[in-house]
Amino acid sequence: MTWHKITCKEREALVDELGRSYNGLASPEFCVLSSRTDMCGEFGQPQIFTEWGRRATEEPVLRDIRWPPEPVGGESILESATRPDAKPCEHYRYEEDATDE
């Protein structure tokens, strides 16, 4: 199994295909398997990481990464969020390799 980078449009199509909820994949079949939010960049560049997967098997299906802007000066996290992200978002689909079959 391998993570394959996909576009935002492909990500939205995947979520629509699997079932959409308020902020991602629909429950009860899917859930967040792993996440990390570091808006201030305490552990490197500010990042919002979310990995979605199947609840029953914990098999991953989708990974989302956002790169929010780092607060500057006395700016709060909420104030920095009004600026564009530092880098474009990234999305990955978990897929079986041809050799895995």
Per-residue pLDDT of 13-63, as tens digits, reads 999 988 888 767 887 899 999 999 998 888 999 999 999 999 999 999 999
Q: Would you state the pLDDT for residue 101?
A: 52
Its pTM stands at 0.83
Beta-bridge partner residues of 20? 25
| Cβ-Cβ contacts under 8 Å for 86 (sequence gap 6 or more) | 45, 46, 67, 68, 69, 70
Among 31-35, 66-70, 73-77, whose mean pLDDT is lowest?
73-77
